[in-house]
Amino acid sequence: MFIKEFLCHAFMVVCRLRSCARSAIKLGGRFSVKRTFGVKVMLLVELFVALGGISAGINLLTDHSGGYLGLETVLHYISFLQDLTLVDVWLTTVYGVLPLILAVGLWMLACTKRWAWFVALVLGAVLIVWILTEVVIFYSLGFTFLYPLYAVIGALTIGVLCLPSVRRYYAKP
């Protein structure tokens, strides 16, 4: 059932992309939309999160114990995980591939940008919750500079997306 719904949604997205391309061709090959500074900041934020998620995912993919990233002691705190494969899948998809898709949606797809705004807002909240959970669970292992960095990135995502100019830009049909 899930696969059927996924394929249906993927087909609808492809159809929307084709109609966007037709609209762009009618406009002379470009989307006639001026992007605000906040939209440009969001693109950079999403690309930064994607870079971090993909690099951490690749490192965990090559070493499931997390030794390369210094995470071998984490497995003692999470008793239901034998290795960090599930964490690898989470990092690669949610913080690697999804921000890349969002960057394309936030930047290029003028016809279908409302979903990208909403998903980017949710991803910022998920990033904050993920980091706070890590701090609570792994506080005894030490504090790294990545915790506040990614918490600020999540807050920046939510803050920039809630700016009036950015909301107006993504509210346009």
Predicted confidence (pLDDT) per residue in 9-67, tens digit: 555 555 555 555 444 444 444 444 678 888 889 889 999 999 988 888 887 777 766 66
CA angle 79, 152, 108 (to 5 degrees): 105
Closest CA to 152 of 120, 124, 116, 113: 124
Mean pLDDT over 76-90 rounds to 68
Can you give the pLDDT at residue 158?
94
Question: Alpha helices of 80-163 — where are they, by DSSP H?
Answer: 85-92, 98-107, 113-137, 146-161
The answer to whether the CB of 170 falls within 8 A of the CB of 117 is: yes
Residue bearing the bigger pLDDT, 137 or 102:
102
Share of the chain above pLDDT 90, in %: 21
Mean pLDDT over 129-133 rounds to 89
Q: How many Å apart are CA 120 and CA 151, to the nearest integer? A: 15
pLDDT band at 153 (very low <50, low <70, confident <90, very high): very high
Q: How far is CA 121 from the centre of its chain?
A: 9
Can you give the pLDDT at residue 22?
47
Residue bearing the bigger pLDDT, 41 or 79:
41
The mean pLDDT of the chain is 75
Read off the amino acid at residue 161: L
Q: How many Å apart are CA 115 and CA 16, to the nearest integer? A: 12
Can you give the pLDDT at residue 13?
54
Lookup result for tokens 């807050």: 155
pLDDT at 3 exceeding the cut of 90: no
